[in-house]
Amino acid sequence: MARQPISDEELIERFGPHLNEEPPGGWDADIEVDRVVETHCCFCGQQCGIKLKVHKNQVVGFEPWYDFPFNEGKLCVKGVKRYLQGSHPDRLLHPMERDPSAPGGFRAVSWDRALDRVVGEIQRIQQAYGDDAFAMLSGVSLTNEKSYLIGKFARLALHTANLDYNGRFCMVSAGAGAKKALGVDRAPNPWSDIPLADVVWVAGSNVAETFPITTSYIWRARDRGARLIVQDPRVVPLARTADLFLPVRPGSDSALFGAVLHTLIRRDWLDHAFIDAHTVDFDEAAAAVSDMTPRWAAGITGVPAARIEQAAEWWGTSATGMLLHARGIEQQSKGVENVLAAINLGLATGKYGKPGCGVTTITGQGNGQGGREHGHKCDQLPGNRDITNPEHRAAVAQVWGCDESEIPGKGLAAEEIIEAIHDGTIKGLLSICFNPVVSAPDTNFTTEALDRLEFYAVIDFFLNDSAVHADVVLPGSLHEEDEGTATSGEGRIIKINAAVTPPGEARLDWKILLDIARRLGRDEHLQYRDTREIFDELCRASTGGTADYTGATWERIEAEHGLFWPVPSVGHPGTPRLFEGGRFFHPDGKARFHPVPFRESAEVVDDDYPVWLTTGRVASQYLSGTQTRRIGGLVEQYPEPLCEMHPRLAESLGVIDGDIVSVSSRRGEMTLPAHVVSTIRPDTVFIPFHWPGKKSVNQLTSRALDPISRMPEFKVAAVRVVRAGGGIPIRDARDLELHEGPT
């Protein structure tokens, strides 16, 4: 019974989130720094370089790492405060078992007892219900080494097909689209290409808050005279000075892209030579947009037709251009279609394989790129191979030293695992780096599912909001406690260095997994002395795959400030820019156009739920907030979710800034303060998603999935908004007093 043992209040009292405000010893401690460790920020896929200051096995501060070329010392607010996640009062220091009679609802137990319990439950559940009734959920804040190990551990130690990862809620639509069209899932460009673009088009990405460092690359392009196009339902900070703003209605992105392709064709702003030499199926894509006029798209998207024509002209007539997209177009039930429609624009104008040219996703999570390459997706083996492909299975089995038949087949995707738990097909779960109570859609359904588990074990460093449902909690390791590699959103393999060792009885994640395998008696192929051995095997397993790390070594990665894969042989310089010379990764070397007819989202507004809801992040918080909701300065910057709405909508609801509103969908209801701002479409509200329980916007979002990527539709839902009574002052001390009362 994986039920929360005691009340929310009691759990928070014991396990937090409490706020770490100061470095160890306080601001006045005058601590001598023993050493400075060059590593990376853990809070997003940009993977900025940072130096951590260490004193007596504690991280006590940071110093900008000016020599790391990607960010040259720059950091956003999360990076600046990143070091405060260590030496934290909420840190889990002992293995624990659920015990409602114990203070805090959990009691400390020995590692032996905790691991024996985990192993006993895995064996019991698998004997009673079959191997696949025990599932594993993982995440991509983990290093490449851990991602690789978990893929192997789940298949060869847990014997389960049902392993998936939290990138299923993040980058997976981008990956699926890129593989279909281009034959490979990686950003086509190093970020140093952005300043070389004559037009930069940002679609569905609040770069200023989610990837602040990328702003500097975009400003550098504008210093050269580049035009900036921003496509978003909100006038996000980057849009404020854009040359063109496309205020797209949630869920209508493929109509906008379709109308742009329509216009490129009609005005013949095409690169015919590129299309003929390097692509196939252009005619099918063209046929699908033959009726998608800008005027038609204006009615669907809410973007004035003249702006659509203008975007097409700038994109089609500029010698170079980059289109950067992120979760805004990807977290939809047609996320893959949106991505394919964006890629069509790059292919049609020959914007691939050249300096300053590319259509690319901006990978979200810390190791969102590397973590989706090495085999801990339900359909994937290392080297970004396909788990259903017999040749790929044989290649990996040879490296693993196992029989091909020992590798289970394709399993369920993350949201499908939660649904299988809910319907009783899956009875046991081990999770690491995954907090579905906050991150999965339809929160009420998710918590119901977790309560139905016969056994739930969690590896984490804090008691995350899902772990409160666990039977056993195993204290794992922080980013700065283990050594390995990650791969940034550019496709740059980088080195993560350990600054400190885990405190108390906490252990390195990979050692915990190896111990479970050993106790299961299934550790024949899981023998490693350190993470370097895992990396070396990962590189061998990647040989011949698209994500080829063959020639990468830890030494080269550090000496060269990162290596861009593919690195297919020893001494290979790496591949910063893909597709040079128009060579794509499909066997015939050609890219594929895809026809993308427009269809509506799974849910559209109606008389009962007349307002569009979209969700996203804020600058000072990261993902489900397990780490960032425990750091003082970050919480103070944006303490709780607000419901952004346009004054026109607010007026129609009788709401003024700060009023508490009730927002409800077909799944659930939440109350929160309204933030009345004229920077959002009048038919749309925005709520950020970093909070649990009654503050979780995922109480409202739907479980509709993209048919290809299995991505839930976080970005589009239909809601009703009403005034709930009461209010709070929202404007803080940082707001200048220019107006009296709301504007």
Partner 1 sequence: MKYGIDDAPVFVIDASRCIGCEACVSACMECGTHRGRSLIHLDHVDRGVTTQAAPTVCMHCEDPTCAQVCPADAIKQTETGVVQSALKSRCIGCSNCVLACPFGVPNYIAELDQMMKCDLCTDRTSEGNPPMCASVCPSEALWYGTPDEFAQNRRGSLVRDFVFGRQSVRTKVFMVVDDVTDGPLDALAGSPGDWLDDPFGLEEGIGTS
Minimum separation from the CB atom of position 252 to partner 1 (A): 9
SS3 letters for 102-124? Answer: CHHHEEECCHHHHHHHHHHHHHH
Element (H, E) at 416: helix 414-422
Per CB under 8 A, the segment of 437-445, 534-542, 559-567, 679-687 that binds partner 1 is: 679-687
Minimum separation from the CB atom of position 416 to partner 1 (A): 32
Rounded CA gap, 590 and 586, in Å? Answer: 6
Options 101, 588, 736, 740; binder of partner 1; rule CB under 8 A: 736
Confirm if 697 and 686 have CB atoms less than 8 A apart: no
Options 231, 332, 637, 699; binder of partner 1; rule CB under 8 A: 637
Minimum separation from the CB atom of position 61 to partner 1 (A): 6
Minimum separation from the CB atom of position 283 to partner 1 (A): 31
Question: By CB under 8 A, what part of segment 199-218 binds partner 1?
Answer: 208-209, 212-213, 215-216
- Under rule CB under 8 A, residue 597 binds partner 1: no
- Under rule CB under 8 A, residue 671 binds partner 1: no
Per CB under 8 A, the segment of 134-142, 145-153, 238-246, 256-264 that binds partner 1 is: 238-246
Residue closer to partner 1, measured from CB, 225 or 587: 225
Q: Which amino acid is at 652?
A: S
Place of tokens 């900036």: 228
- Total number of residues shown for the chain: 743
Residue closer to partner 1, measured from CB, 550 or 627: 627
Confirm if 712 and 601 have CB atoms less than 8 A apart: no
Per CB under 8 A, the segment of 466-474, 503-511, 547-555, 732-740 that binds partner 1 is: 732-740
3-state secondary structure at position 628: helix
- Under rule CB under 8 A, residue 18 binds partner 1: no
- Under rule CB under 8 A, residue 617 binds partner 1: no
At residue 208, φ and ψ (nearest 5 deg) are -60, -30
Residue closer to partner 1, measured from CB, 293 or 620: 620
Residue closer to partner 1, measured from CB, 36 or 80: 80
- Under rule CB under 8 A, residue 727 binds partner 1: no
Question: By CB under 8 A, what part of segment 378-417 binds partner 1?
Answer: none
Minimum separation from the CB atom of position 199 to partner 1 (A): 13
- Under rule CB under 8 A, residue 249 binds partner 1: yes
Per CB under 8 A, the segment of 553-561, 569-577, 641-649, 708-716 that binds partner 1 is: 641-649
Residue closer to partner 1, measured from CB, 355 or 595: 355
Cα 211 to its chain centre, rounded Å, is: 12
Rounded CA gap, 682 and 691, in Å? Answer: 25
Options 56, 113, 240, 272; binder of partner 1; rule CB under 8 A: 240
Minimum separation from the CB atom of position 453 to partner 1 (A): 39
Question: By CB under 8 A, what part of segment 497-516 binds partner 1?
Answer: none
Residue closer to partner 1, measured from CB, 238 or 563: 238
Question: By CB under 8 A, what part of segment 433-452 binds partner 1?
Answer: none
Confirm if 388 and 237 have CB atoms less than 8 A apart: no
Contacts of 374 (CB under 8 A, 6+ apart): 144, 147, 148, 151, 382, 383, 384, 538, 541, 542, 547
Rounded CA gap, 603 and 704, in Å? Answer: 8
Minimum separation from the CB atom of position 445 to partner 1 (A): 29
Minimum separation from the CB atom of position 619 to partner 1 (A): 4
Minimum separation from the CB atom of position 235 to partner 1 (A): 5
Residue closer to partner 1, measured from CB, 208 or 421: 208
Rounded CA gap, 285 and 270, in Å? Answer: 13
Residue closer to partner 1, measured from CB, 646 or 690: 646
Minimum separation from the CB atom of position 439 to partner 1 (A): 23
CA dist list (Å): 67 to 50, 63, 558, 672: 10, 12, 12, 44
- Under rule CB under 8 A, residue 607 binds partner 1: no
Residue closer to partner 1, measured from CB, 249 or 556: 249
Pairing of strands 428-432, 134-138: parallel
Residue closer to partner 1, measured from CB, 327 or 594: 327
Confirm if 342 and 330 have CB atoms less than 8 A apart: no
Confirm if 506 and 461 have CB atoms less than 8 A apart: yes
At residue 386, φ and ψ (nearest 5 deg) are -95, 125
Confirm if 593 and 402 have CB atoms less than 8 A apart: no
Element (H, E) at 37: strand 35-40
Place of tokens 């790390």: 549
The 519-558 site mask, x for binding partner 1 (CB under 8 A), equals: ----------------------------------------
Residue closer to partner 1, measured from CB, 209 or 515: 209
Options 10, 97, 131, 243; binder of partner 1; rule CB under 8 A: 243
- Under rule CB under 8 A, residue 245 binds partner 1: yes
* Number of residues in contact with partner 1 under rule CB under 8 A: 73
Residue closer to partner 1, measured from CB, 280 or 730: 730
Question: By CB under 8 A, what part of segment 680-709 binds partner 1?
Answer: 681-683
- Under rule CB under 8 A, residue 652 binds partner 1: no
Confirm if 445 and 471 have CB atoms less than 8 A apart: no
Options 568, 633, 658, 727; binder of partner 1; rule CB under 8 A: 633
- Under rule CB under 8 A, residue 602 binds partner 1: no
User: What does the angle CA 31 – CA 37 – CA 39 come to, to the nearest 5 degrees?
Assistant: 135
Is the bond leading into 566 cis (omega within 30 degrees of zero)? yes
Rounded CA gap, 693 and 95, in Å? Answer: 25
Among 534, 575, 595, 536, smallest CA distance to 180 is for 595
Confirm if 135 and 429 have CB atoms less than 8 A apart: yes
Ranges assigned E (strand) in 344-466: 357-361, 380-381, 385-386, 428-432, 455-460
Element (H, E) at 246: strand 244-246
Rounded CA gap, 496 and 503, in Å? Answer: 19
Minimum separation from the CB atom of position 74 to partner 1 (A): 5
Confirm if 456 and 470 have CB atoms less than 8 A apart: yes
Question: By CB under 8 A, what part of segment 292-331 binds partner 1?
Answer: 298-299, 302-304, 307
Options 390, 607, 654, 739; binder of partner 1; rule CB under 8 A: 739
Element (H, E) at 560: none
Question: By CB under 8 A, what part of segment 265-294 binds partner 1?
Answer: none
Options 37, 660, 679, 693; binder of partner 1; rule CB under 8 A: 679
The 114-153 site mask, x for binding partner 1 (CB under 8 A), equals: ----------------------------------------
At residue 324, φ and ψ (nearest 5 deg) are -105, 125
Question: By CB under 8 A, what part of segment 25-84 binds partner 1?
Answer: 26-28, 61-62, 64, 66-67, 71-77, 79-81
- Under rule CB under 8 A, residue 743 binds partner 1: yes
At residue 332, φ and ψ (nearest 5 deg) are -140, 160
CA dist list (Å): 515 to 81, 111, 157, 318, 370: 33, 10, 11, 57, 24
- Under rule CB under 8 A, residue 639 binds partner 1: no
Minimum separation from the CB atom of position 232 to partner 1 (A): 10
- Under rule CB under 8 A, residue 192 binds partner 1: no
